[in-house]
Amino acid sequence: MKENVIFCYSGTGNCLDMAKNIAKKLGNTDIVMMRKYPAVTDVREAKRVGFVVPCYGGGLPGHVERYIRDIKVSPDAYTFGIGQCAAYKGEGLSKINELIPLKYWAVLSHQCTCIYLFPHNLMLPKMSAERAQARSEDHAEQFAEDIKNGVITKKKISKAYLNRLEHAAWPAIARKKAQALKANSNCIKCGQCARICPAGNIRYTGDAVIFGDKCISCMGCVQYCPKQAINVGKVTEKRERYHNPNITVEDLTQDIISFD
Ligand SMILES: Cc1cc2nc3c(=O)[nH]c(=O)nc-3n(C[C@H](O)[C@H](O)[C@H](O)COP(=O)(O)O)c2cc1C
């Protein structure tokens, strides 16, 4: 195991891009993906342990909290959490902080990937994908510098009680939205949607794409489909697709990404 470990969940690449930029700057880092059950959970030998996660419906995506409950960190480790959102940080980092107290934390907005709710540039503050990406890369430099120097964030992470209520209602909303997922006649049956789905919710039979009932609404299938053939009802048909420009399907489906 490397000296530094970053646990990362990412549906459409923004968080993985942030984790990679921090890891490159830190060096000697393993990024352990939390889309599937993490390949490593006992990281008591690591000197620094971090989490890079997006806000979904006011809190942590799908199964991420359950996975984090199994992670074992040395009490001497330097711990950090970086949250990504479109507008507000939600309760995700405070949930992680309850399980694994965080010494350093920060939140940054990026493009909105919840395509059935908003166009991608409707983030706060509103900006283009290029501007948001450049801003994210600048912040990654600063976060990595702070992490290297062992900076402690003085401000406490708020409990975000309203977001807790929002997030409690979220799974039902996500499930309802998932019922509207459909591949149209532009589908070229490449099976990429099935590969990218972190919930194992999409079955590709060779001549059909079948959506199950375990969707966590990451929108990876919609945003990465090479033919824009997957929609969530009518609203997404005319909406421009977005995924992080630096992150491929292959990147997202790794178990561990290592940096020397
Ligand atoms: C299903 C879903 C729900 C989201 N909910 C929120 C939210 O409650 N608040 C917010 O500010 N951003 C929300 N977002 C936006 C993401 O947090 C943001 O786009 C993030 O950069 C996505 O990271 P990723 O590309 O690594 O998955 C949501 C995105 C998705 C797909």
Q: Could you report the per-residue pLDDT of 69-126, keeping only the tens digit for each?
A: 999 999 999 999 999 999 999 999 999 999 999 999 999 999 999 999 999 999 999 9
Averaged pLDDT for residues 19-42: 98
User: Ligand 1 centre and the CA of 206: distance in Å?
Assistant: 31
Q: Which residues line ligand 1 at a C-beta cut-off of 6 Å? A: 10-15, 54-58, 84-88, 90, 110-114, 217-219, 244
Residue nearest atom 30 in ligand 1 by C-alpha distance: 114
Q: Report the pLDDT value the prediction gives residue 18, as an integer from 0 to 100.
A: 98
User: Ligand 1 centre and the CA of 250: distance in Å?
Assistant: 21
Contact (CB, 8 A) for 7 and 50: yes
Residue nearest atom 1 in ligand 1 by C-alpha distance: 217
User: Ligand 1 centre and the CA of 54: distance in Å?
Assistant: 6
Q: What percent of the chain has pLDDT over 90?
A: 95
User: Ligand 1 centre and the CA of 36: distance in Å?
Assistant: 18
Q: What is the pLDDT of residues 193-233, one digit of tens each?
A: 999 999 999 998 888 899 999 999 999 999 999 999 999 99
Averaged pLDDT for residues 55-78: 97
**Amino acid occupying residue 153:** T
pLDDT of 175 over the 90 cut:
no
Q: Report the pLDDT value the prediction gives residue 151, as an integer from 0 to 100.
A: 98
Domain 177-232: which CATH class?
alpha beta
Q: Report the pLDDT value the prediction gives residue 157, as an integer from 0 to 100.
A: 96
Domain with CATH 3.40.50.360 in the chain: 4-161+246-259
Q: Report the pLDDT value the prediction gives residue 216, as an integer from 0 to 100.
A: 93
109 SS3 class: strand
Residue nearest atom 28 in ligand 1 by C-alpha distance: 56
Q: Report the pLDDT value the prediction gives residue 208, as an integer from 0 to 100.
A: 87
Report the CATH fold assignment for 4-161+246-259: Rossmann fold (3.40.50)
User: Ligand 1 centre and the CA of 86: distance in Å?
Assistant: 6
* Nearest ligand 1 atom to alpha carbon 115: 31
Contact (CB, 8 A) for 69 and 37: no
At 30, the pLDDT band (50, 70, 90 cuts) reads: very high
Averaged pLDDT for residues 133-141: 98
Kindly give the interhelix angle for 14-26 and 129-148, rounded to the nearest 10 degrees: 40
Pocket residue to mutate for ligand 1, from 22, 91, 113, most atoms within 8 A of Cβ: 113
Pocket residue to mutate for ligand 1, from 16, 18, 52, 85, most atoms within 8 A of Cβ: 85
Q: Report the pLDDT value the prediction gives residue 206, as an integer from 0 to 100.
A: 83
pLDDT of 252 over the 90 cut:
yes
Peptide bond before 101: cis, by omega within 30 degrees of 0?
A: no
Rounded alpha-carbon distances, angstroms, from residue 89 to 71, 100, 101, 211, 223? 23, 18, 17, 30, 22
pLDDT of 153 over the 90 cut:
yes
* Nearest ligand 1 atom to alpha carbon 109: 21
Domain with CATH 3.30.70.20 in the chain: 177-232
Average pLDDT, the chain: 96
